[in-house]
């Protein structure tokens, strides 16, 4: 009687394919994107809470999103910049952070305008809750814009911290 072995040729081929994938350029980028997504989620929660609190207290959606987003992106830069990306540029982290903030000054201003505009459309369909309708509509518009902004932020962070490598 033949005993079952986990080291069958099919298992060896599958293992080799998984190893090749994890060491390939695509696998490394996908791993960084996954880590960046998790870290961005933490920044997004901070951003979301700050924005929601400020709108609930009476701030306009545009300004509340500016403040919340800068809190979130600063957290993301420090965690992702030190733990996920391989810094290969000679500039200091303070210089790179200023470039990151400059990128986000433009990106956040644009997304804040889109969120404020989107919230004016969403305010007509929000349910009656304990939250002010502006808060609910603003946060809803932010949720809709998040996937697009996350991909853009990942690409810029990768461009900012890592020089182009030849694989």
pLDDT band at 17 (very low <50, low <70, confident <90, very high): very low
Confidence at 130, pLDDT banded by 50, 70, 90: low
Bigger pLDDT: 25 vs 99: 99
Which of 78-82, 124-128, 153-157 bottoms out in mean pLDDT, i.e. has the lowest?
124-128
Comparing 1-5, 116-120, 151-155, which segment has the lowest mean pLDDT?
1-5
CA distances from 43 to 20, 38, 87, 146, 147 (A): 32, 9, 20, 12, 14
| 18-52 confidence digits (pLDDT tens) | 445 556 777 888 888 888 889 989 998 998 899 88
Q: For the chain, give percent helix, strand, coil, nearest 5.
A: 75, 0, 25
For residue 117, CA distances in Å to 56, 99, 104, 127, 145 come to 18, 27, 19, 19, 12
The model carries a pTM of 0.66
Which two structure tokens, joined as six digits, stand for 99?
């470039």
Cα dihedral sign, 123-128-134-135:
negative
């Amino acid at each position: 009687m033949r005993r079952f072995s986990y080291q069958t040729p099919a298992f060896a081929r599958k293992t080799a394919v998984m190893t090749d994938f994890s060491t390939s350029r695509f696998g490394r980028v996908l791993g960084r994107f996954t880590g960046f997504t998790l870290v961005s989620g933490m920044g997004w929660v901070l951003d979301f809470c700050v924005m929601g609190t400020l709108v609930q207290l009476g701030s306009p959606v545009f300004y509340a999103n500016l403040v919340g987003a800068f809190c979130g992106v600063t957290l993301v830069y420090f965690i992702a910049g030190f733990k996920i990306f391989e810094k290969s540029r000679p500039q200091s982290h303070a210089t790179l952070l200023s470039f990151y903030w400059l990128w986000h000054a433009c990106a956040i201003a644009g997304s804040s305008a889109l969120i404020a505009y989107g919230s004016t459309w969403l305010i007509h369909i929000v349910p009656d809750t304990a939250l002010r309708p502006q808060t609910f509509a603003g946060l809803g518009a932010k949720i809709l814009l998040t996937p697009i902004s996350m991909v853009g932020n990942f690409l810029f962070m990768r461009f900012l911290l890592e020089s182009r490598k030849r694989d």
